[in-house]
Amino acid sequence: MPEIEIIYNEKSYKINENDRLRDIIDIFPESLRGDIIAIYIDNILYDFHTPIRGGGVVNLIKIGDPRALDILRHSTSHVMAQAVKRLFKDVKLAIGPSIKDGFYYDFDFSDGISADDLPKIEEEMKKIIEEDQPFERFTKPRDEAIKYFEELGEVYKVELIESLEKEEEISFYRNGDFVDLCRGPHIPSTGYIKAFKLLNLAGAYWRGDERNPMLTRIYGTSFFSKADLEKYLNMIEEAKKRDHRKLGKELELFSFHEEGPGFPFWLPNGMVIKNNLLDFWREEHRKAGYVEVQTPILLKKDLWVRSGHWDNYRENMYLTEIDDYPFAIKPMNCPGGMLIYKEKIHSYRDLPMRVAEIGHVHRHEKSGVLQGLFRVRSFTQDDAHIFMLPTQIEEEIIGVIELTERIYSKFGFTYTLELSTRPEKSIGTDEQWEIATSGLENALKRLNKEYTVNPGEGAFYGPKIDFHLEDCLGRLHQCATIQVDMSLPERFDLTYVDKDGTEKRPVVIHRAILGSLERFIGILIEHYGGRFPVWLSPVQVIVLPIADRHVDRASEIAKALFESGVRVEIDSRNEKLGYKMREAEVKKIPYILIVGDKEVESGRVSVRRGGKGDIGSFSVKDFLERIGEEISSRNDAE
């Protein structure tokens, strides 16, 4: 059998082609073997069961790695499907992937089930886990695979295989008495599942298409330890209180309507947050040397053919015709930005050019994946394109990372970094990829940033750095991204005149910091639990007169605050003070000013900090100084 060479910890090992990870586990230190879930070799992922086809550098995926959790959860979805098949004999299987924070499996039940059935399924899953069933991978020719599932009556599996037009060998995974169509990867055995929980049921159209049958989707999650599961379940309970869809309605920030599914309607309070975010964004970008542009929302088909979107992204685009010619609503800002660069000849002295755009984009998302502001069909993207010399990549990456850090720190966010490298299918030369990847790596190292490498997960046109932002509940959200692009400069024939008078290609960095402004605001709502810092809060101060005789003085105070630029309201309703205070707390207004006999007589005002209680008596002048500093510095006083 032919030998291939793999490299681990700078040591070379010869293994037989088609060996599996389980066959070569002795190569790795004994102290690590029990933690290894899978490996990358030359950016290709192998679990314990997949034949190794080629050599290269080995990277381990161990317990504790987020990718190991993905593998664990996908395997748990198989265990759940196995338990369901044992309990419900006529059920048909659809798909069961891992997803963010868990997994699901879609089933077609002949008689249906309810949430009351979930504990019974969990008990059956525990039996399967205790059996410590090893996973086993095998393949069948396409025709045999179709016949296999036809004989089982698994119509959804047959349809899936038939849609895999280019694949003649179809892979399966078996554990115990259960066999499923699957690419993998999987954990070594079911015993690796230490803690899991089935969470809820939902309806889901087969393949996300409302014309197809409605299936039952069972959601769950799993972890390598019971402590991690408990932490997650506690987080879910807290997250329910902070759900941005619930708070968005209560605080009158945004709404959705049947007339525009997936298209958010921004209400006055929400527009205050959005506009203040954009003011902050523009201020920081001006300091960082960016200019701002705006490109049309509707552009001809020719542009999207040239950019590659027409062939690769058309199903996610909204199309129309103008004067009998096809146009598309832009799903991305990049192609328009390339046209702006091409408007004139550029010298090497002009570079780097940092060009930013707050662009309104539209993407056709299936109705089943829409989720409040987190997944919409229309959103605002804070794009920027940096056109530069190849020698400027490193410095520009450093600049983007530092700008991102300044913006995130304003909200108290921390983040982790992930470097994604060249995928198996890519464009560009080895030299171009080496320059781009080295630029990203060197920038991270110069800033002493910790990062993980995600082998083979870069864009087809270049490597990238992703920022995974951590909110107050410890949840990670992928927001900022920095991508080095070698495709669009070629497609759009971008050039600059170099020192020697020759035309050369610039390098382009695509980057977003907030990402989708809608999604970022959704994250902020949940991060703050709706209680925004003063500079972002739609209403910053509410003035509460205790009785009718105090209304005139309260109105004077509200007017003084308004004229100083403070967003202020007055609640002069004939209601008890306690009732009005509780309502102000529900609205999560940062400052509550109380005006009664004592305050009218002294010329002062009693101040309560929302969520914290009484902070004392202030003159109007002193209070204005306090809140003015909070607003201008964009920092809370406490």
Domain ranges in the chain? 3-62, 69-235, 250-295+331-528, 296-329, 541-633
List beta partners, residue 292. Answer: 356
Query: 34 in the Ramachandran plot: left (φ > 0), alpha (ψ -120 to 50) or beta?
Result: alpha
Query: Whose CA is closest to 278, among 86, 621, 517?
Result: 517
Asked about 35 being catalytic, the answer comes back as no
Return all residues near 566 (Cβ < 8 A) that are at least 6 apart: 540, 541, 624, 627, 628, 631
Read off the pLDDT band of 110 (50, 70, 90).
confident
Lowest-confidence segment of 390-399, 453-462, 541-550 by average pLDDT? 453-462
Its sign, for the CA torsion 161, 166, 168, 171, is negative
User: What's the confidence (pLDDT) of residue 89?
Assistant: 85
Cβ neighbours around 56 below 10 Å, total: 16
pLDDT in tens, 241-274: 999 999 999 999 999 999 999 999 999 999 999 9
pLDDT in tens, 483-515: 998 788 988 999 999 999 999 999 999 999 999
Share of the chain above pLDDT 70, in %: 100
CA-to-CA distance for 631 and 193, rounded, in angstroms?
A: 49
Asked about 334 being catalytic, the answer comes back as yes
> Strand 265-266 and strand 254-255: pairing?
antiparallel
Cis check for the bond before 2: say yes or no (omega within 30 of 0). Answer: no
Catalytic residue among 186, 363, 519, 588: 363
Give the pair of three-digit tokens for residue 11. 């040591």
Asked about 363 being catalytic, the answer comes back as yes
Q: What is the second-level CATH architecture of the domain 3-62?
A: Roll (3.10)
Query: 308 in the Ramachandran plot: left (φ > 0), alpha (ψ -120 to 50) or beta?
Result: left
Mean pLDDT in residue range 134-155: 94
CATH 3.40.140.10 fits 541-633, yes or no: no
Report in angstroms the alpha-carbon separations of 558 from 51, 251, 594. 73, 21, 11
CA-to-CA distance for 204 and 221, rounded, in angstroms?
A: 18
Asked about 510 being catalytic, the answer comes back as yes
Catalytic residue among 70, 106, 180, 383: 383
Amino acid making up residue 220: G
Cβ neighbours around 511 below 10 Å, total: 25
Buried/exposed code over 446-475 (b: 16+ C-beta within 10 A; e: otherwise): eeebebeebbbbbbebbbbbbbbbbbebeb
CA-to-CA distance for 50 and 69, rounded, in angstroms?
A: 18
- With 60 as the cut, is the pLDDT of residue 638 above it? no
User: What's the confidence (pLDDT) of residue 454?
Assistant: 86
Q: Model pTM?
A: 0.80
Any alpha helices (H) in 16-87, and if so which ranges? Answer: 30-33, 66-87
- With 90 as the cut, is the pLDDT of residue 165 above it? no
Return all residues near 341 (Cβ < 8 A) that are at least 6 apart: 353, 355, 385, 387, 492, 494, 506
Q: What is the second-level CATH architecture of the domain 250-295+331-528?
A: 2-Layer Sandwich (3.30)
pLDDT in tens, 288-311: 999 999 999 999 999 999 988 888
Buried/exposed code over 242-256 (b: 16+ C-beta within 10 A; e: otherwise): bebbebbeebebbeb
Q: What is the second-level CATH architecture of the domain 69-235?
A: 2-Layer Sandwich (3.30)
Return all residues near 367 (Cβ < 8 A) that are at least 6 apart: 208, 210, 261, 262
pLDDT in tens, 123-138: 999 999 999 999 999 9
Amino acid making up residue 134: P
- With 90 as the cut, is the pLDDT of residue 441 above it? yes
pLDDT in tens, 186-197: 999 999 999 999
Asked about 182 being catalytic, the answer comes back as no
List beta partners, residue 189. Answer: 134
Query: 549 in the Ramachandran plot: left (φ > 0), alpha (ψ -120 to 50) or beta?
Result: alpha
Amino acid making up residue 252: E
- With 80 as the cut, is the pLDDT of residue 93 above it? yes
| Residue whose structure tokens are 């959804």 | 156
Catalytic residue among 385, 511, 519, 588: 385
In whole numbers, what is the pLDDT of the chain averaged over residues?
93
Read off the pLDDT band of 637 (50, 70, 90).
low
Catalytic residue among 92, 354, 377, 381: 381
CA-to-CA distance for 221 and 195, rounded, in angstroms?
A: 9
Return all residues near 585 (Cβ < 8 A) that are at least 6 apart: 592, 610, 611
CA-to-CA distance for 551 and 571, rounded, in angstroms?
A: 9
User: What's the confidence (pLDDT) of residue 1?
Assistant: 65
3-62 and 69-235 have identical folds: no
Catalytic residue among 510, 519, 567, 588: 510
Whether the CB-CB separation of 630 and 617 falls below 8 Å is answered with: no
